[in-house]
Amino acid sequence: MASFNVYVVFGVLTIMASGAVMAYEVDPVKANNCETKMTLHCVTEVFASIFKTGIVTDNCCIELIGLGQFCHYALIKKTLQNPLFRNNDTSVILSRGAQVWNKCTLVNKDVSPSPSAY
Ligand X SMILES: *[C@@H]1O[C@H](CO)[C@@H](O)[C@H](O)[C@H]1NC(C)=O
Q: What is the DSSP string of 34-53?
A: GGGSS-HHHHHHHHHHHHSS
Is position 91 an interface residue for ligand X (rule: CB under 6 A)? Answer: no
Of the candidate residues 92, 99, 105, 111, the single one contacting ligand X (CB under 6 A): 92
* Closer Cβ to ligand X, 36 or 87, answer by number: 87
Amino acid identity at 78: K
Of the candidate residues 51, 67, 74, 100, the single one contacting ligand X (CB under 6 A): 51
Q: State how far the Cα of 68 lies from the Cα of 18, in Å rounded to an integer.
A: 28
DSSP structure class, residue 114: -
* Closer Cβ to ligand X, 18 or 81, answer by number: 81
* Range 10-49, binding ligand X (CB under 6 A): none
